[in-house]
Amino acid sequence: MSLLTVRGLTVDFGSGVRAVAGLDLDLAAGQVLGVVGESGSGKSVTSLAVLGLLPRDARVGGEIHFDGRELTGLDRRSLRRLRGNRIAMVFQDPLSCLNPYYPVAFQIAEAYRAHHRAGRKAAHRVAVRMLERVGIPEPERRARSYPHEFSGGMRQRVMIAMALCLEPDLLIADEPTTALDVTVQAQILGLLRELRQEAGTAIMLITHDMGVVAGLADHVVVMHDGRAVERGTVHDVFHRPQEAYTRGLLACVPRIDGPLPHRLPTLEASS
């Protein structure tokens, strides 16, 4: 049973730019869907459309079904209830998503209380438990820290804790590790992998990094110019890519293993 179904999604901006031009997506409960593409491919706009977070001048067409419900055309209040409760999100830059004036546990507790009947103390306990769950050392003490006292990797853990305290069915992660160093990226990807296994959270993973997708996704959609140019299981897309664009995207990434070409194959792109 599909948790998220997108059919013929189009997004147009007031300036006449068509960012998404007829996109279909399917994500089953508990699965990880990787959406890959270069900048301008429409992958982030797609995630914002699912979340109902596009700016007002954007016109959204097509259908977005989440757990049997149509999201396009839903009023702001219903959407807000859905976000957080059922659909949570993690973005690339955790610092700009956290309020610098409040301790991290306060912000997690606030998100929790927005969707649950809970007192301050109970919500704080949930926040500390979530911080522990995402691997923040000394969660009791660090709960009172402010975002600026955390490293980039720790802040991203806080964002994930905030997303998870509501036990969502779907986590939309838009470039969740792009701003992080590789050793920290490995920690965060490990955490996402655990979540999916233990809590059964479905993840829509948006990234430009083919390696990140290979390690986490079950299915992959390759986007280019607002369209899906290729889709399939992660195995098929990586080992038997059908489209020249996908093959090019895979071949032009310099790797740390395998044969080393003197020159890299390049996509015919607009450099």
Partner 1 sequence: MSELRDTPLPETPLLEPPLLETRSLVKRFPVRHGLTRRLAGHVTAVDGVSLRVAPGETLGLVGESGCGKSTVARLLTRLERPTSGTVRFAGQDLAGLDERRLRPVRRELQMVFQDPLSSLNPRQTVRRILASPFAYQGLEPDEPVERLLERVGLRADHADRHPHEFSGGQAQRIGIARALALRPKLVVCDEPVSALDVSVQAQILNLLKDLQDEYGLAYLFIAHDLGAVRQISTRIAVMYLGAVVETTDRDTLFATPAHPYTRALLSAVPLPDPDAERGRERIVLRGDLPSPLDPPSGCRFRTRCPKAADRCAAERPALRAIVPGHEVACHFPEEMP
List of residues contacting partner 1 (CB under 8 A): 38-39, 137, 151, 153-154, 181-187, 189-190, 208-215, 217, 234-235, 238-239, 248-250, 252-257, 260, 262-267, 269-271
Place of tokens 């015919």: 268
Which CB atom, from 173 or from 212, has the smaller least distance to partner 1? 212
Minimum CB distance to partner 1, residue 246 (Å):
11
CB of 182 to partner 1, least distance (A): 4
Q: Which is nearer to partner 1, 12 or 209 (CB)?
A: 209
Residue with Cβ nearer partner 1 (79 or 267): 267
Give least dist CB 214 to partner 1, A: 5
66, amino acid identity: F
Task: Reduce the DSSP state of residue 7 to 3 states and report it.
Answer: strand
Structure tokens at 208: 């430009």
Q: What is the distance between the alpha carbons of residues 45 and 70, in angstroms, rounded to a whole number?
A: 18
Asked if residue 192 lies in contact with residue 175, where contact means CB atoms within 8 angstroms, the answer is no
Burial class (CB in 10 A: 0-12, 13-18, 19+), 270: exposed
> Judged by CB, which is closer to partner 1: 51, or 249?
249
In the complex, minimum distance from the CB of residue 44 to partner 1, in angstroms, rounded to a whole number: 14
Radius of gyration of the chain from its Cα atoms, rounded to whole angstroms: 19
107: amino acid identity, one letter:
Q
* Shortest distance, position 121 Cβ to partner 1, whole Å: 29
Which residue, 124 or 157, is less far from partner 1 as judged by CB?
Answer: 157
10 Å Cβ neighbour count for 65?
Answer: 16
* 55 versus 271: smaller Cβ distance to partner 1: 271
225 neighbors 248 (Cβ within 8 angstroms): no
CB of 212 to partner 1, least distance (A): 5
